[in-house]
Chains A and B, each alone.
Chain A
Amino acid sequence: MNVNLLTLSEVVDVSGEIGNFSVKVKQHPRYIDMEKCIACGLCAQKCPRKVDDEFNLGLNQRTSAYIKYGQAVPLKYAIDGETCIYLTRGKCKACEKFCPTSAINFEDQEQIIDLQVGAVILSPGFKPFDPSGFDFYGYRKIPDVVTSLEYERLLSSSGPCMGHLVRPSDHKEPRSIAWIQCVGSRSTNRCENGYCSSVCCMYAIKEALVTAEHTSGDGVRQTIFYMDIRSHGKDFDRFYEDAKAKGVRFIKARPHTIEAGKDNCGVTMRYACEDGKIMIENFDLAVLSIGLEPTADGKRLSDLFQLNLNQYRFAKTSDFSPACTNRPGIYVAGAFQTPKAIPRAVTEASSAAQEAATALIHARGDLTRSKTYPAERGIEGQEVRVGVFVCSCGINIAGIINVDEVARYARTLPHVALVENNLFSCSADTQEMMAKKIMEHSLNRIVIAACTPRTHETLFQETLQETGLNPYLVEMANIRNQNAWVHQREPEMATRKAKDQVRMAVAKAALSVPIERTKVSVVPKALVIGGGVAGMQAALSLADQNFQTVLLEKSDQLGGNAWKVNTTDQGEYIRPFLEKLIGRVESHPAIEVLKNARLTSAKGSVGSFTSEIQVNGASRDLTYGVAVLAVGGRETTPAEYLYGEDPRVVTHLELDALMRDDSAGLKKAKTTVFIQCVGSRDERRPYCSRICCTHSVKAAIHLKDLNPQMNVYVLYRDIRTYGEREDLYRKARDLGVIFIHYTPEQKPLVGREGADLTVEVFDPILRLPVSITTDRLVLAAAMEANDSKDLVELYKCAANADGFLNEAHPKLRPVDMAVDGLFVAGLCNYPKPLNETIAQAKAAAARAAVILSQTEMTLDAIKSFVTDKCDGCALCLDVCPYRALTLTDYQAGDGRTHLRMASDKALCKGCGLCSATCPKGGVYVHGFTMDQLRAQVIAALEDVA
């Protein structure tokens, strides 16, 4: 209701400033009335004009009347004016003839829409790299060379071959597939994309694994040719190791040329292994892992909005405010800012929303709308009167199912007081009619035999609410998707099945009772645990939105790790930023900073938590609506490579300290060696610490700047300078830093020869061991999360096997925790550089503000409830994934104490595992009680018996 979606639209002009922009939007004609379109798809079926389907990258065809893909939002068809026969040649209108709702409107015109907005967020995304310019890969010349995006469509069950993978040349299933990484990324020859696209390693591994699921039988062979595998995200390295274990071949090599195979089927490649050995291999299919490029739209938008772009034409932002542009009030999100994967794009989108929300704080709520309904009327004691509305859905249902017969049948069912057949049950006029009938006939249960509750249940619930009925008194029978659409060839059987479906729905509906949506009042206060940059930034973002915030820090100083790091990845000095941040936090009227403090208890749930806090030894209570967990992480202490034994061996943070305090000493070194992955990506910590490659490369550049004559060596497993950090890697090499690849099987050996500190490592390219006498050895010690076991226990939240606090879903809810009302940010979630920490903290604040901005939160009504049959056996306790159930004592009438479960409505998600587990009907889920399910099952079997 508060999101107005303008599709087919582009910004053509903008003026004004933060708080008051005038934006002119040009909306191109859709030729289909969105109000009338019911997405039945008839227009697309009848349209005679076939054009390349751009969503499937031209691998198949669509018609001029189309939806881009099945999950399109809004799910409304459109007519492509460029190719439509009527719009280009003045004849046809087939779609208009067949559209059952008269939604086709060939008179539709381009419109100019003027918007007044206070802030703008730009997220024009990226363009996949076009590899046709690389003649050596033969793309568009050799049939079996495809891009990774094309391959994605070939694999997809909604793609051109319905998920049954075939190769383009002969439409046979490929048995051996090769991926070539970094096509259009990390290259400045024949393209200008010096950056790493950041996502291709992971999507290639995913495609390789998914391939096995989309091919028949065993023996499919997947080979990935790579330079460095960059699985730097949370749990990504596990995925990589898993792929290796499942037989995906990873070859550190780069084929020079792809040649067509015999009869132009498949491909041949010649490649040199790391040891120089030449291999010639045939593959059935080659996939080019193409990179991400800025779009032309991004450039156009940045011109319109006068934004600064960087050398690659991505939006230029500071590491301290990754969503902010050079124009106040204009924010960016997604790959427009820099290439990134979904988790970061979603996180940063929330952080852009936070920036906009803060900018518009004085106007908060001014334009938001909310719907009001008449007071609910009780139905207790009333005779059950079911109204059944059978939908024709134009001819979608009625074309197969005899809806009249179904309607006649419905009249014979018990409790049914009224049956109607509607052409379109979801249309606005039908809704009005339905409301009228409900009142006229005193209906108190409604069955809609139509389509899926997934898209339409909310609509019908609202119609019930308009009449004062409880929204949970409606039941849907899906006679379209689950019947008419899948039984098109058996209309009679389909009609019988529709009757079964209606009978089941009526049986269940008759037992429906009003369910109350629980409301919890929200304590408008936030608790932030952890006073590092993540915690401070989250606290500040909340406080700037006028929410009282308590910031809890275990030590006596705010700032955490940021005190020990010199610059961000873009080279911005951290210290001044940090001091300013601390100053703002400590002086903010809405923030209460508690140092030397720790949490000792946590009770309650979203909207209202209560905790006991120890501050300087004294205890106090705190009530709050949300909490942000930002307890940070730390550099580990290496247990190898003479660390602690030889003072010349230091960690990254120690090197940063030397850079701050002892430049002269650093400069004197003739040689400095870095060793990467010290304690990361091993058995103990099977994850990548994400920040060390960039840090080493940055430090190496710093040393070369101090003393260009210094020999600097970096010993690495994979260099993971993802995104535009790749420029630092390039710069380091240009300055003469030498990178030597090592494997865990052949780790570097650090020793002492007399007074000399030596590092011996095998150089795979030289094919020789190399012995380096060095003046300093810098170890990229692994990052670790600070211990959060107590918090996990107190809040019943979750951490992964490596001790990093878990988000509810890495892509969909990257800063929410699985426990509602808890949010996570910073190193405790996963190692990350400062800009990502700041974005995540702001995102956590944005998500927390969604809760805090309501005085009362309405929860979903489908929740578990404990009945008097519960005897406290607690079997359900173990299966509940949300820890919503607790075992409690109660005093029975006999004066004795009994045990019984209690369900916390705020924590329960209504999944029903408890109900399915309970042997004695002690716990049910509203709307799905055992009686209701039983009635449905009996009704289903009735006809059979």
Chain B
Amino acid sequence: MTTQPVKIGKESKSIFKDKVMQLLPDGGNLNACLTCGACASGCPATGLADMDPRRFLRMAVMGLDEQILKSEWVWNCTLCWRCIYVCPMKIDIPQLVYHARKSWPREARPKGIRSSCDMALTSESCSAMGAKEEDFRMVVEDVLEEVRANQPGWENLTAPINKAGAEFFLNQNSREPVTEPDEMVPLWKIMSFVGADWTYSTKGWAAENYCMFMADDENWERIVRIKAKAVDDLGCKYWVNTE
């Protein structure tokens, strides 16, 4: 198989990369790549969609905008930051990926992430799984009651909800109350063990924010603001997000 050479030179055309660089502090160091491959070595998504972080950046640098903006690999990336953590040049590949996601038409973005984002927008609980404020309260209270009744030594365990003035405001990923409610308990025990003054909130209790993974800036912000307001409304000092 012969591959047609990529034609470069004459007119500069790394439009996408240049645009992202303008948005990032120090341009995200996107030009600084030594092509050492430390990122690709550690990336859980290396090899998926015939792509890896080094190749992705290289394509952006070489101006292969069309290909990278079409690459589904950006949705394989977990935005885990393993690449930038070890990169000798501290290149912000996650941001490059993020902006590539952003360039996708909303309706073309992966359905799973998109519906999770949309679902979170349907109530003030911000739950991507659609669990409403009162659903959450009920699950917490049920589980707490059961622990107090059945686990010796934890008769006085608390899981406060909407406790005004608590020091810590705690979020909870929807997956626990919805599918594995018992998984919430260890965290309560830790909070109790260290004597933390904490609270859940019915408003904005869900920790996840799929709109961020969707690269939907507007709705990402909207969800963050709902949660931030809940923290402020309860007058908590610290916001602890378990995500």
Contacts and interface: CB of A to CB of B under 8 A. Distances in A.
Interface stretch (A11-19, A185-193, A532-540, A884-892): A185-193
A734 B30 CA distance: 8
A730 B5 contact: no
Contacts of B27: 734
Contact of B87 (A189, A271, A733): A189
B221 to A, nearest CB: 29
B8 A189 contact: no
Interface string A590-602: 0000000000000
B33 to A, nearest CB: 7
B62 A738 contact: yes
Contacts of A774: 9
Interface in A868-914: none
A189 B32 contact: no
Contact of A186 (B4, B31, B34, B82): B34
Contacts of B55: 276, 765-767
A709 interface: yes
A257 to B, nearest CB: 6
Interface in B38-89: 38-43, 46-47, 50, 52, 54-55, 58-59, 61-62, 64, 82, 84-89
Given A136-B86, A272-B40, A741 B5 contact: no
Contacts of A278: 40-41, 46-47
Nearest to A272: B40
Contacts of A671: 9-10
Nearest to A134: B86
A271 B41 contact: yes
Interface residues on B, range: 35 or more
Contacts of B40: 272, 276, 278
Interface in A465-501: none
Interface in A702-751: 709, 711, 713, 730, 733-736, 738-739, 741
Given A278-B47, A763-B58, A770-B5, A256 B38 contact: yes
B41 to A, nearest CB: 4
A168 to B, nearest CB: 24
Interface residues of A, number: 48
B35 interface: yes
B6 interface: yes
A254 interface: yes
Nearest to B90: A189
B9 A769 contact: no
Contact of B9 (A227, A253, A711, A736): A711
A252 B12 CA distance: 29
A738 B82 CA distance: 25
B77 to A, nearest CB: 15
A2 B36 CA distance: 51
A760 B5 contact: yes
B150 interface: no
A274 B32 contact: no
B27 to A, nearest CB: 8
Interface string A156-188: 000000000000000000000000001000111
B243 interface: no
A765 B35 contact: yes
B36 A227 contact: yes
A271 B37 contact: yes
Contacts of A770: 5-8, 62
Q: Of A274, A738, A769, which is in contact with the most chain B CB atoms at under 10 Å from its CB? A: A738
A766 B62 contact: yes
Contact of A188 (B8, B43, B84, B89): B89
Nearest to A671: B9
Contacts of A734: 27, 31-32
B3 interface: yes
A44 B54 CA distance: 55
A763 B63 CA distance: 13
A768 B5 contact: yes
Contacts of A735: 31
Contacts of B43: 256, 272
B40 to A, nearest CB: 4
B11 interface: yes
Contact of A769 (B3, B54, B86): B3
Interface in B85-137: 85-90
Contacts of B41: 253-257, 269-272, 278
A772 interface: yes
A172 B40 CA distance: 33
Q: Of B38, B47, B50, which is in contact with the most chain A CB atoms at under 10 Å from its CB? A: B38
Interface in A92-131: none
A136 B42 CA distance: 10
B62 A276 contact: no
A80 to B, nearest CB: 38
Given A136-B86, A735-B31, A741-B35, A772 B47 contact: no
A254 to B, nearest CB: 4
Contacts of B84: 189
A604 to B, nearest CB: 54
A934 B32 CA distance: 71
A760 B2 CA distance: 14
Nearest to A191: B88
Contacts of B61: 738
B62 A188 contact: no
Nearest to A769: B5
B8 A771 contact: yes
Contact of A274 (B34, B37, B46, B47): B37
A221 interface: no
A661 B46 CA distance: 49
B88 A186 contact: yes
A588 B33 CA distance: 51
Nearest to B54: A765
A36 to B, nearest CB: 53
Given A254-B41, A257-B86, A270-B41, A711 B36 contact: no
A498 B21 CA distance: 80
A257 B44 CA distance: 12
A739 B33 CA distance: 9
A736 B12 CA distance: 10
Contacts of A273: 37
A738 B13 CA distance: 13
A771 to B, nearest CB: 4
A676 interface: no
Nearest to A227: B36
Interface in A766-786: 766-774
Nearest to A185: B88
Contacts of B31: 733-736
Contacts of A277: 47
A763 B62 contact: yes
Interface in A262-287: 269-274, 276-278
A253 B34 CA distance: 11
Interface in A812-863: none
A634 interface: no
A667 interface: no
A227 B86 contact: no
A257 B89 CA distance: 16
Contacts of A766: 6, 55, 58-59, 62, 64
Contacts of A768: 3, 5-6
A272 B54 contact: yes
B34 A136 contact: no
Given A189-B88, A276-B55, 11 more contacts: A189-B89, A253-B41, A257-B86, A272-B40, A670-B9, A730-B89, A733-B31, A736-B31, A739-B35, A766-B6, A773-B7
27 contacts: A182-B36, A186-B34, A189-B89, A253-B37, A254-B37, A255-B41, A256-B39, A272-B40, A276-B46, A276-B54, A278-B41, A670-B11, A671-B9, A709-B12, A733-B31, A734-B32, A736-B31, A763-B6, A765-B35, A765-B54, A766-B6, A766-B62, A769-B6, A770-B62, A771-B6, A772-B9, A774-B9
Which A-B residue pairs are the 9 nearest by beta carbons? Answer: A256-B42, A272-B40, A187-B88, A771-B5, A189-B90, A256-B41, A254-B38, A769-B5, A772-B9
